Amino acid sequence: MPARGALLHSLTAQEAGQAARARRRKRLTALLFVLPLLLFILLAFVAPIASMLWRSVHHPTVSELIPRTIAELQRWDEHGLPDEASLAVFAEELHALARKRQSGRLAEELNRAFSGMSSVVKSSARQLGRLQPEQLATDGVPTLLKAHRNWSRSEVWYAIKRAGMTYTYDYYLTALDLERHPDEGIRPRDTQIYLKLYSKTLTLALIITLLCALLGYPLSYYLASLPENRANLLLVLVLLPFWTSLLVRTTAWIALLQTNGVINSTLLASGLLDEPLEMLYTSFATVVAMTHILLPFMVLPLYSVMRGIDPSYLRAALSLGDRPLPAFARIYFPMTLPGLSAGALLVFIISVGYYITPALVGGTDGQMISNLIAFHMQSSNNWELAAALGSLLLALILLLYWVYDRFVGASNIKLG
Amino acid sequence: MNSTPAYYGFWQRLGRLLLKLGSWLVLLFLILPILVIVPLSFNSEPFFSFTEGMLTLQPEAYSLRWYQEVFTDPRWILAIKNSFIIGIFATLLSTVLGTCAAVGLAREEMPLRRFITALLLSPMIVPLIITAAGMFFFYSDFGLAGTYPGVIIAHAALGTPFVIITVTATLVGFDYSLVRAALNLGATPLRAFFDVIMPLIRPGVISGALFAFITSFDEVVVILFMAGPQQRTIPRQMFSGLREQINPSILAVATLLILTSIALLVTLELLRRRAERLRLAPAE
Amino acid sequence: MARSLTTSVSAFALTAALAMASFGAAAQDSLTVVSWGGAYGAAQKKHVVDPFQKDTGVKVLFEDYTGGVAEIKAQVESGNIQWDVVDFEVIDLERACSEGLLEELPRDFLPAGVDGTPAEQDFIPEALASECAIGNIVWSVVFAYNERTIGSVKPETIKDFFDTAKIPGKRAMRKRPQVNLEWALMADGVPPAEVYEVLATPEGQQRAFDKLASIKKDLVWFDSWSQAPQLLNDGGAVLVQSANGRFYDSIRQEKKPFVIVWDGHVYDLDAWAIVKGTPKKDLAMQFIAYATGSKPLAGMPDVAYGPTRKSSMPLADQTAAPHLPTAHLDKGIKAGSEFWADHGEALGEKFNEWLLN
């Protein structure tokens, strides 16, 4: 920049203006080339993710289902029972929901806020639904309170009040195994699930990365030491799995690891085992299959870095009397670090967010955070919690990506 | 370095031998699981493991039953057709957009170059489950979920990073004065693009397109969340097969896919050689 | 150079055009019918879906799923309806119906039986009990063992399923609380008639989970009924839970030495229902009317499931009669549809938590 500045100084104002215009035009041309894709990615990719993040804090369902109850609860001091009038409003709204077949949705929402409420809401809604509208004013509240003892608990009403907030950070609290209590503020939940799962995910990703490095480093070193055409030939054995469908590779591991699979039957036939090992549907299966799937991402950058290192450095050190291992550690290894860190970061990033393979071979104990996100998306239909868990995962990935971009450069990913 | 140099001592030789052995074990680890699938796909029983008959090489233990099933089951046929339709359109879209963007990104003058590059490459990094979940809601709002255009757009977004990377790689060291020269000589910008830039980046474009295609062809998470039964693809069909009902027709499909990837790999290798030749002898 | 570019561009354009043509073909009007795959799916394909396609010219996309209401709920709530007709286990039906996920069905669209009996009398009453669905089969959840892998002691009762001392080895169950909790209570000595009453109390639920926990380390979980025969065949488990038809089909078609234990079986109906808000409701009703006709239903005993129309039985393959759930009703209980409508959500959550810990 200073050089360019100095240059400008020596030009006339007119020339400088021209140069600036030319530069602006070049910038504009470059931008025009990029713009279509930029817009496309923003609309087709960034906007969907942003809308999902929005969902993790914006949750109007409950306040839409029982708006008047939620409004009533704003007056309540969060201790003891809400007053008779509020309860009557709730009984009325629940009665209306039961008639409209919408009580199931409320049941599900409240069950999230207070575990076990699903059946309470449903059976209470059924009992209220049997009342005639004109009976509601007199019998509504007694019927409600008689329907289940939970309606006499202030914790339940507190949970309803919180579930009724349109903007909420409660899903993030849940995603971090925390909850809000009227007196104690934010405190850990009784059941700890997600933090454990995050740490398990990171542990598994770390193990997979380490295994990839342990297997990939010597292989890349060996390949780099071969003559180029022979190395290219062997590289095919690395690239073929890389290019083979992920589902195919996962299928292969199912065939290998299952109870009556190839590995067990071989070990049984050879007499090494008396009874088959349980390998499929465990975290072991997740680790092995994912190491297999991600190993090429480690080998390719390592190999390309090692290929560029002149072997004569190491030979020189050896011929100067250095012992092989220290020479390797002091001279060669540091030179391969860029490749190693690039590969390791990439493997780690990919494995942290992996879904398919753990879903198919991991059983219950090989599940990672992505699988739980999928569970809340597809099975429990708790989309807000899925979004909150997803945002946390995304934040972690973006942090790692930033590190990767800084040290390796995002466009330097090796694709074979 | 095929033969160990003479000044290597016993330990070095041993180390070298161990290295070779270890490397071959890793290579076997990479390749064997894939090869195991092939014989299993000729199983005559509806299960996923070698039968005694197969091990003793009895001919009746082998059959083409599962291949036949794949090619007669309308669901597999639909899946195969869908995979190609979605793959081809997504590839077209991402190759055009990605190539264009790569040409722009390769220029020094590009404002916010680093940030935009990182942004455009992010579909490759963001976990698919997050992408898929986001797309499910967003595309549903626009009526695109469960439609071909929706799935194609989603897959195109996932494929563009690969095009950018491969095309950018061929543009390293490109001399833009060539384009200026062409323009000065009266070429239209489009002509300048196709006559000057295109020949150079073509290997990158083609391998980028192949990557984009395989990305779509292999993608299952977005399909799981966003596609309807109409858009069921091969990986989706395999996924539900593995989840719900393991039978060897999945292995037959897997074998076919392995053949496909071998074909792709060969194409890529030929392209690479060609690119190398071009680079060595630019004046063709 | 320029020429080869033109060639490749035109080749690509041609491919694209071809793809476009098939694209149009794939988008033609069709009905998505969702059922359970495996042997049952094959029987439905043969006796229901294929004839329907042939008779009406409507293209049917026949999909598999593994039960539950979640996928339908996601479709209805996101407004992204992909499924039209779904084969429900009645155990899930009440829940889906009470949450407004299904269309209400009239009764008058059902044809009379082949013998002329009006539909209302031809169907067994349970098949028409829900306003959201029409029952099509009676089936049952049972467990089975493999003569090849079982030891000298063979299981006879549901208690044996939970007795790892008597019969060591893995047990496989579907990864849902439904049926498993009922079995746990029956094995723990609760009389079959009182199972749902006990299970509605917190103490009863605890008791069921405790019983399950006593064999937790020996349990293998699967997602779909059709995985069960594979598990029993390859030794993945010694005792395997599944739908009776899955085992029956392996025994009959693949000649597997499986033996079904009927004690404590939980029988249920499957019923066809229509997803709320589908644009193809009329076509969907036409399909259901067809699928629950006497003749298509008469094909269901192929996989040992009982048809819900009395007029179907005379048309059916009689060899299956002793293997139908209806021949063993005294040994089992009827699945509690209303119970699971109320408690499915809470117990599902509890079950998942229990699995993870």
Of the residues B210, B244, B267, the best mutation for testing chain C's interface (the one with the most C CB atoms within 10 Å of its CB) is: B244
3-class secondary-structure state, position C99: coil
Is C61 within 8 Å of B47 when comparing Cβ atoms?
no
- Note whether C179 and C235 are same-domain residues: yes
User: Residue C220's domain spans which residues?
Assistant: 140-267+338-356
Is B229 within 8 Å of C82 when comparing Cβ atoms?
yes
Show me where the domains of chain A are located.
2-41, 62-160, 194-412
Three-state secondary structure along chain A? Answer: CHHHHHHHHCCCHHHHHHHHHHHHHHHHHHHHHHHHHHHHHHHHHHHHHHHHHHHCCECCHHHHHCHHHHHHHCCCCCCCCCCHHHHHHHHHHHHHHHHCCCHHHHHHHHHHHCCCHHHHHHHHHHHHHCCCHHHHHHHHHHHHHHHCHHHHCHHHHHHHHHHCCCECCHHHHHHCCEEEECCCEEEECCCCCHHHHHHHHHHHHHHHHHHHHHHHHHHHHHHHHCCHHHHHHHHHHHHHHHHCCHHHHHHHHHHHHCCCCHHHHHHHHCCCCCCCCCCCCCHHHHHHHHHHHHHHHHHHHHHHHHHCCCCHHHHHHHHCCCCHHHHHHHHHHHHHHHHHHHHHHHHHHHHHCCCHHHHHHCCCCCCCHHHHHHHHHHCCCCHHHHHHHHHHHHHHHHHHHHHHHHHCCHHHCCCC
Q: Which residues of C touch A371 (CB under 8 A)?
A: none
Contact of C17 with chain B, judged by CB distance below 8 Å, is answered with no
What pTM does this model have? 0.86
Task: Read off the pLDDT of residues C285-325 as tens digits, 9 standing for 90 and up.
Answer: 999 999 999 999 999 999 999 999 999 989 998 888 999 99
Q: Which residue has the higher pLDDT, A32 or C356?
A: A32
What's the confidence (pLDDT) of residue C1? 40
What's the gap in Å between the CA of A336 and the closest CA on chain C? 40
Q: How many CA atoms lie within 13 A of B72 on its CB side?
A: 6
Task: Read off the pLDDT of residues B258-278 as tens digits, 9 standing for 90 and up.
Answer: 999 999 888 888 887 777 776
Is residue C246 domain-resident?
yes
Of the residues C99, C206, C227, the best mutation for testing chain A's interface (the one with the most A CB atoms within 10 Å of its CB) is: C99
Is A33 within 8 Å of B118 when comparing Cβ atoms?
no
Contact of A105 with chain C, judged by CB distance below 8 Å, is answered with yes
**Average pLDDT of C12-27?**
52
Give strand ranges (E) for chain C: 30-35, 59-64, 85-89, 133-146, 171-174, 219-222, 239-243, 258-274, 306-307, 333-334
Can you tell me the ipTM of this complex? 0.90
What's the gap in Å between the CA of C63 and the closest CA on chain A? 17
Query: Percentage of residues in chain B with pLDDT exceeding 70?
Result: 94
**Average pLDDT of B101-105?**
92
Judged against a pLDDT cut of 90, whether residue B190 lies above it is answered with no
Q: Which residues of B touch A405 (CB under 8 A)?
A: 114, 118
Give chain B's end-to-end CA distance (angstroms, integer): 35
- Note whether C82 and C150 are same-domain residues: no
For residue C33, the Cα-to-chain-centroid distance in whole angstroms is: 13
Q: Which residues of B touch A378 (CB under 8 A)?
A: 225
**Conformation bin of residue B57: beta by default, left when phi > 0, alpha when psi is -120 to 50:** left
Is C5 within 8 Å of B49 when comparing Cβ atoms?
no
Q: Which domains does chain B have, with CATH numbers?
A: 75-237 (1.10.3720.10)
Judged against a pLDDT cut of 90, whether residue C64 lies above it is answered with no
Is residue C19 domain-resident?
no
Q: How many CA atoms lie within 13 A of B189 on its CB side?
A: 3
What's the confidence (pLDDT) of residue B281? 58
Write the CB contacts of A271 (distance below 8 Å, at least 6 apart in sequence): none
- Note whether C167 and C107 are same-domain residues: no
Of the residues B239, B245, B267, the best mutation for testing chain C's interface (the one with the most C CB atoms within 10 Å of its CB) is: B245
Task: Report whether C64 contacts C36 (CB < 8 A).
Answer: yes
Is C99 within 8 Å of A258 when comparing Cβ atoms?
no
Q: Which residues of A touch C220 (CB under 8 A)?
A: 281
- In the structure, what pLDDT confidence band is assigned to residue B74 with cuts at 50, 70 and 90? confident
**Average pLDDT of C2-29?**
52
What's the gap in Å between the CA of C226 and the closest CA on chain B? 5
Task: Read off the pLDDT of residues C254-278 as tens digits, 9 standing for 90 and up.
Answer: 889 999 999 999 999 999 999 999 9
Residues B161 and C312: their CA atoms lie apart, in Å, by 59
- Note whether C97 and C77 are same-domain residues: yes
What's the confidence (pLDDT) of residue B170? 86
- In the structure, what pLDDT confidence band is assigned to residue C27 with cuts at 50, 70 and 90? very low
Report the CATH number at residue C103: 3.40.190.10
Is B146 within 8 Å of C19 when comparing Cβ atoms?
no
Dihedral of the CA atoms C299, C300, C304, C305 (nearest 10)?
A: -150
User: Partners of C306 in the beta sheet?
Assistant: C138
Judged against a pLDDT cut of 90, whether residue B243 lies above it is answered with no
Contact of B78 with chain C, judged by CB distance below 8 Å, is answered with yes
Q: Which residue has the higher pLDDT, A292 or B5?
A: A292
Least reliable range by pLDDT among B251-260, C179-188, C216-225: C216-225
Task: Read off the pLDDT of residues A158-186 as tens digits, 9 standing for 90 and up.
Answer: 999 999 999 999 999 999 999 888 888 89
**Average pLDDT of C337-347?**
83
Q: Which residues of A touch C98 (CB under 8 A)?
A: 101, 103-104, 122
Q: How many domains does chain C have?
A: 2
What's the confidence (pLDDT) of residue A412? 74
Task: Name which of C12, C37, C254 is nearest B244 (Cβ-Cβ).
Answer: C37
Task: Read off the pLDDT of residues A116-125 as tens digits, 9 standing for 90 and up.
Answer: 788 889 889 9
- Note whether C237 and C351 are same-domain residues: yes
Pairing of strands C133-146, C239-243: antiparallel
Write the CB contacts of B70 (distance below 8 Å, at least 6 apart in sequence): B76, B249, B252, B253, B256
Is residue C170 domain-resident?
yes
- Note whether C105 and C118 are same-domain residues: yes
Is B244 within 8 Å of C78 when comparing Cβ atoms?
no
Task: Report whether B271 contacts B206 (CB < 8 A).
Answer: yes
- In the structure, what pLDDT confidence band is assigned to residue B245 with cuts at 50, 70 and 90? low
Q: Which residues of B touch C1 (CB under 8 A)?
A: 199, 284
Is residue C20 domain-resident?
no
What's the confidence (pLDDT) of residue C310? 92
Nearest-5° angle of CA C169, CA C171, CA C172?
145
Neighbours of chain A (3+ CB pairs under 8 A): B, C
- In the structure, what pLDDT confidence band is assigned to residue B118 with cuts at 50, 70 and 90? very high
User: Partners of C243 in the beta sheet?
Assistant: C141
Q: By C-alpha distance, which of C157, C140, C160 is closest to C91?
A: C140
- Note whether C343 and C223 are same-domain residues: yes
- Note whether C227 and C347 are same-domain residues: yes
What's the gap in Å between the CA of A361 and the closest CA on chain B? 10
Neighbours of chain C (3+ CB pairs under 8 A): A, B
Fold of A194-412: MetI-like fold (1.10.3720)
Q: Which residues of C touch A258 (CB under 8 A)?
A: 234, 236
User: Partners of C268 in the beta sheet?
Assistant: C139
- Note whether C159 and C68 are same-domain residues: no
Contact of C342 with chain A, judged by CB distance below 8 Å, is answered with yes
Task: Read off the pLDDT of residues A304-313 as tens digits, 9 standing for 90 and up.
Answer: 999 988 877 7
* Mean pLDDT, all residues of chain C: 88
Is C68 within 8 Å of A379 when comparing Cβ atoms?
yes
